[in-house]
Structure 1
Amino acid sequence: MASFFCRSGKLLSLYRGGCHRTDAVRSVGGFDENNVTEDLATSIKLHEKGYKTVYYSRPLALGEAPQTLNSYFIQQSRWSQGSLGIFFKVIKLLFKRKMLGMRQKLGYLVTTSWYFVGLVNLMMLIFPLLFIFFNVVSIVTPAFYIFIFAFYILFEFVAFSVTIVSIQKSIVPLLRNISLTFISSPIFVKSAFYALIGKRTSFKVTPKEDSTKLPLRGIWAQVLLIFITGSGAAYSVIRYTSGGTVQYLYNGMFMLYFFILSLSVFYFNK
């Protein structure tokens, strides 16, 4: 963290690409280091106290992105655990008359709840697998599931396209982002579990010059996803050719989609 003086002579703190008034940070007890995403936790405290923030749309600070899958997983683990650890506090804020406006409350709710995407992906895997292997039809019927999941994929592509393709002018970063999100699902599920049981984790810095290639034991969960989704896709064809309905193929197509996403772990782990 670096500090400097602005024209008014007020001492400011430059932190994570944000500029904070030192007296404001001190008034909330300093940066909240009880959470591994202390910048987010501190921002909530500042807004609760009535301080205002302004977004300045100019690049004034540079940061380094993770260079390997190992460093990326470390970063995502810290971000997801920290954000989900704040989630239940944000839920309480929705029903309290604090200095936060409704837009701020909803903004923090979206930010902290996004990492539940790991649980969403898990459910998207479970429903078709139960149908393909065991003929188990949950309250979500195969036909309805296909409609919902097709909409989910379409929405995902549209959402990422608006924010990525419009800037990068290429679909490649879009595909990388979607696949990285999926193979990070085991990390997000673990973080959600820790948040539910209230387990705190230690801060682990993202390696800046990391060249570590994860061994198989380091990506065992992703390899398990490859095996499960590949088996589901293959068995759906067997069930269909053995006299089953076309719904086996539809669910198998989604398993194939997840299988391809899972394989990307080997592309990134090099």
Structure 2
Amino acid sequence: MMKLSNLLLFVLPVIISVIFTYFTYVNLLTVWIAFGVWLSMVVGFFIFINYYSVSKRSKKYYMPLAGKIQNYRIASFVTSFNEDPKIVESTLISVKNVTQKYGKVFLLDDSTNEEIRKELENFCKKNDIIYFHRENRKGFKAGAINEALKKIEDSFDLVAIFDADQRPLEGFFEQVIPYFSDPKVALVQIPQNYTETYTKIAQGAKYQQEPFLRIIMRGRSGYSAFSLGSGSVFRISALKDVGYFAEYSITEDAATSIKLNEKGYKTVYADVGLIWYGEPPEDLSAYLTQQSRWSFGYFQLLGEMLKSNLSFSQFFDYFSGFLYWVKEGPITILEFISPIIFLSLRIPIVKINPILYVLLYIPYLIITIVLFSFSVKEKGEYGLKGFYYHQVVEYLEFYAITLSFISWIFRRKIPFKVTPKGVVSRNFKLIIPHLIFIILLSLSDILGIIWYLTSTSIILKAAIIVNIFWSTYQIPFLLGGILASRTYNIEKPKYTEIVSK
């Protein structure tokens, strides 16, 4: 049954934005932009409140120094779909090295490329690895995991899941197993590690993950942490209790975590570097494919969240993720459009004293930036460079996320796509929306300056300055994204095969 408190939290950002819009809109032609402006600020505030909450919780985060190694039987699943066999084989060897004392390694290969399939099957036979292959891809990754689990569930206690490019370090299970001494722990998640950052896009993707992995997931540990799809170790009986993995979502990891949380199971995040290899998206096409899949999957989760029996705080944690994707997609486009309309066409969007706006909003903006900066100050790898790269890749994704949002609204299905690895390409079409907005924002700035110089009203001048500020603020990040997507000046070392027979 839907909880009233969670339903209220869901509608609150919209209600608040509608109220503000009602009292400040100028005309019916631009009322939707006015609503978007207010929704941007309100959603941003909700996201900030949640971030502040989890960052406070993250300060209490700790990891036990030692624990009892129980005699669990472990099945390690490596999932693959038309991946480079050399990458998969290296991962299988790493997984086998950490698993052999506890159980068996399984390759769940959904590859449709017959050449890849045969090579991986032969490799598994030679290395005592169990090979699973399906003729259909029902449920995609979740379906493959569920089919394998139903075949082996009585033989194993825990299942570990690794993507084809995520390789565990020696001692992986020695640090993970002790958490399961608590019978309510259903999941232990190890952070992913992007090491192959040989392009600007790859670097940006890594920096984008840092606040999430180092702060948000720490703050959600034991409460609302969720599986990241790889480096996840589940209690099989808990998965069985919630009906296995959710096959209806392309982000089956998060959907399954919600089902575990609402059943009262604990989901633990162990922030320790136990993954030594990971390939982030290397070019814009791969990055947008990844972000499109993640955002669409999270949009799909909304119904699951609303129907769930999650506590208010757990719901807020998950719901803030939904708000994040909405803000990075359609709301970002409205943030572009608003100053363009005002400065270029001289059409007012909202009726509000710009000086009052500056006095109220700027302190809030400064506070959020300062608090965010303090929360990540101990993360030496992040810093100012990390913040810039983080913003750059987020400005690159608005178009892809908006398309995912539209597909979700109209109940269209998008095909499951594995993030491409190992191949770097350029596709000019992908940056056309960004180029268009750079041109429009720059033109708006010029027209705004001319308007400012010819205006005699102090209030109007203040309004022009505010809009020029927001228009100009976005240009460096859009431009940085375009440059990052076109620049591959970091030489990637030649791949060295580490597979040993």
For normalisation by structure 1, the TM-score amounts to 0.84
Asked whether the equivalents of residues 165 and 174 of structure 1 are also in contact (C-alpha less than 8 Å), the reply is: no
- Out of 194, 202, 219, the position equivalent to 2:415 is 202
Q: CA-to-partner distance for each residue in 1:17-57, whole Å, 9 max, x for gaps? A: 22111232233332223211110111112223332222223
Residue aligned with 1:173, SS: helix
Between the two proteins, the alignment pairs up a number of residues equal to 262
For residues 407 and 239 of structure 2, the distance between their equivalents in structure 1, rounded to whole angstroms, comes to: 28
Residue 20 of structure 1 pairs with residue 166 of structure 2: no
Alignment of 1:138-149 (within 5 A): 138-141=349-352, 143=354
Residue 82 of structure 1 pairs with residue 294 of structure 2: no
For residues 400 and 363 of structure 2, the distance between their equivalents in structure 1, rounded to whole angstroms, comes to: 25
Alignment of 1:54-69 (within 5 A): 54-62=268-276, 63-69=278-284
**Residue number in structure 2 paired with 1:47:** 261
For residues 275 and 450 of structure 2, the distance between their equivalents in structure 1, rounded to whole angstroms, comes to: 55
Residue 259 of structure 1 pairs with residue 454 of structure 2: no
Asked whether the equivalents of residues 83 and 113 of structure 1 are also in contact (C-alpha less than 8 Å), the reply is: no
For residues 365 and 474 of structure 2, the distance between their equivalents in structure 1, rounded to whole angstroms, comes to: 11
For residues 150 and 127 of structure 1, the distance between their equivalents in structure 2, rounded to whole angstroms, comes to: 18
**Residue number in structure 2 paired with 1:34:** 248
Residue 134 of structure 1 pairs with residue 345 of structure 2: yes
Q: 1:44 to 1:169 in 2, by over 3 A?
A: closer
Asked whether the equivalents of residues 233 and 255 of structure 1 are also in contact (C-alpha less than 8 Å), the reply is: yes
Alignment of 1:1-270 (within 5 A): 1-2=77-78, 5=102, 10-15=156-161, 16-62=230-276, 63-93=278-308, 98=309, 100-117=310-327, 118-141=329-352, 143=354, 150=362, 154=366, 157-158=369-370, 160-167=372-379, 168=381, 170-215=383-428, 217-243=429-455, 245-246=460-461, 247-269=463-485, 270=487
TM superposition shift of 1:160: 4.8
Which of these two proteins has the greater Rg computed from alpha carbons?
2
Asked whether the equivalents of residues 255 and 304 of structure 2 are also in contact (C-alpha less than 8 Å), the reply is: no
Q: CA-to-partner distance for each residue in 1:143-188, whole Å, 9 max, x for gaps? A: 1665676467546644653454431263101011112112211122
For residues 364 and 447 of structure 2, the distance between their equivalents in structure 1, rounded to whole angstroms, comes to: 24
For residues 248 and 26 of structure 1, the distance between their equivalents in structure 2, rounded to whole angstroms, comes to: 59
RMSD, aligned CA: 2.6
Asked whether the equivalents of residues 35 and 82 of structure 1 are also in contact (C-alpha less than 8 Å), the reply is: yes
Asked whether the equivalents of residues 67 and 208 of structure 1 are also in contact (C-alpha less than 8 Å), the reply is: yes
Query: Hey, which of these two has a bigger chunk of helix by percent?
Result: 1
Residue aligned with 2:159, SS: strand
Q: Which amino acid aligns with 2:476?
A: I
Asked whether the equivalents of residues 161 and 174 of structure 1 are also in contact (C-alpha less than 8 Å), the reply is: no
For residues 139 and 241 of structure 1, the distance between their equivalents in structure 2, rounded to whole angstroms, comes to: 22
For residues 102 and 243 of structure 1, the distance between their equivalents in structure 2, rounded to whole angstroms, comes to: 50
TM superposition shift of 1:68: 2.0
Asked whether the equivalents of residues 165 and 171 of structure 1 are also in contact (C-alpha less than 8 Å), the reply is: no
Q: Percent identity?
A: 25
TM superposition shift of 1:69: 2.1
Unaligned runs of 5+ residues in structure 1 are none
